[in-house]
Amino acid sequence: PNFNCFHAIAGFFHFKASNGMEAIEIWEGWQPHLIWMDMRMPVMDGYEATKRIKTHLKGQATAIIALTASAWEEERAVVLSAGCDDFVRKPFQEQVLFDKMTQYLGVRYLYEELATNSEGANLTNIAQQGQVRVVEEDLSSPSVISSALAKMPKQWLKELYQAADAIDNERIFQLLEEIPPTQEHLAKAITDFVNNFRCDRIIDLIEETSSLRIGNREWGMGNGE
């Protein structure tokens, strides 16, 4: 599919890079949630561009999905070893892209049905025609961050709380490396708090999360566990 048309219809902001070096420059200035990485590009290929992005802590918060025409299963291992989070073979259907964005961005879609004749006997999913509206949660909202924190292990939350209370940025960044790719928005949110000298917000959100867990009799700050 035409990526420019696809993303415009789906409602995503996007930038297009013509080579690997340009991809890195765009990532550094924008830090998108997801990159569709063509592995065969001039100047610098997608393998090297992915490696360079993923060497940065902030790069861990960006999902990178490789696009390749290779039909060999061995290519998957090579792509993943370069740092890509997933792998899509060309050619592919638009639905594959929608499914991957749901998996890595947590977006949800509203599908509409359109009658193909005056009687409305045959209905066609508009998404098949490239007409789909995207409903995307604000991944930086306190409720979303609290929900993501609630999914993390209790010991990890305790250590993050202690590091934030001590304003130990180095330890906080070490803990962020343990966040799974599916929770990359949590890593980005906490990174933003640290960079803006708001460790107090991390503490507040963990305390809100612990209150929820106290209600579930699992764990709470200050209960002696």
Question: Which range (22-26, 53-57, 138-142) has the least confidence?
Answer: 138-142
pLDDT at 221 over 70: no
Confidence of residue 30 (pLDDT cuts 50, 70, 90): confident
pLDDT at 184 over 50: yes
Measured on CA atoms in the order 200, 203, 208, 209, is the torsion positive or negative? Answer: positive
pLDDT at residue 140 in the model: 62
As a whole number of Å, the CA-based R_g of the chain is 21
* Domain layout of the chain by residue ranges: 3-135, 142-215
- Beta strands 113-115 and 123-125, pairing class: antiparallel
CATH code for the structural domain at 3-135: 3.40.50.2300
pLDDT at residue 3 in the model: 53
**Are the beta carbons of 60 and 187 closer than 8 angstroms?**
yes
Dig out the tokens for 130 from the structure.
Answer: 């490239």
Average pLDDT over residues 14-20: 85
Dig out the tokens for 47 from the structure.
Answer: 């393998």
The better pLDDT of the pair 64, 90 is held by 64
pLDDT digits (tens, 9 = 90+) for 39-87: 988 899 999 999 999 999 888 889 999 988 876 777 888 899 999 999 8
pLDDT at residue 126 in the model: 38
Cis peptide leading into residue 153 (ω within 30°)? no
Question: Which range (41-45, 136-140, 160-164) has the least confidence?
Answer: 136-140
